[in-house]
Amino acid sequence: MSKKIVAVTACIAGIAHTYMAAQNLKKYAKKEGYDIKVETQGAMGMENRLAQDEIDAADVVIFAVDTVVAEPDRFEGKPVLKVGTSEVVKDGKAAIDQAIALVN
């Protein structure tokens, strides 16, 4: 079974990087054959909110954030890769690879 990733993206202004990082994670997860679901915490609030069972079922969590994650308790006990949104915008593949490396 392919590895499951859940991710949260959030930047300071919540206008652009939150959504670029989300797309880039999806793009490279898909390219490498992983399941991914991404929750955005931007200027429009929380979107595509991760359900607790989705989080529980995930192998690894990526926080691509420049600020704090809202409702972090949901992720307690999960392996988390924390990166900045710019890093993910620059190199989405590296973020996915690093996350998978945490649990392989």
Partner 1 sequence: MSEKLSGFISANNVVLDLDAKDREDAIRQLAEILQKNGNVSNAAAFCQDVLEREAMTTTGIGNNIAIPHGKSAAVTETTMMFAKTTTPLEWQSLDGSKVNIIFLMAVAPQAKGNAHLKMLANLSGRLMDDDFVAAIKQAQTVEAVLKIIKK
Subset of residues 46 to 65 that bind partner 1, contact rule: CB under 8 A:
none
Q: Are strands 80-83 and 45-47 parallel, antiparallel or unpaired?
A: unpaired
Distance CA 76, CA 43 (A): 25
When the beta carbons of 23 and 98 are compared against partner 1, the nearer one is 23
Instruction: Give me 47's structure tokens.
Output: 């979107």
We find the least distance from the C-beta atom of residue 53 to partner 1, in angstroms, to be 26
Nearest to 34 by CA among 16, 52, 15, 7: 7
Interaction of residue 39 with partner 1, rule CB under 8 A = no
Q: Which residues on adjacent β-strands are paired with residue 55?
A: none
- CA-CA-CA-CA dihedral for 43, 48, 54, 56, to nearest 10: 10
Q: Which position among 5, 10, 11, 95 bears the catalytic label?
A: 11
Interaction of residue 98 with partner 1, rule CB under 8 A = no
Interaction of residue 69 with partner 1, rule CB under 8 A = no
When the beta carbons of 27 and 49 are compared against partner 1, the nearer one is 27
Establish whether 11 is a catalytic residue.
Answer: yes
- Answer for which of 7, 8, 10, 18 binds partner 1 (CB under 8 A) is 18
DSSP element (H, E) containing 98: helix 92-103
Interaction of residue 16 with partner 1, rule CB under 8 A = yes
Show which residues are catalytic. Answer: 11
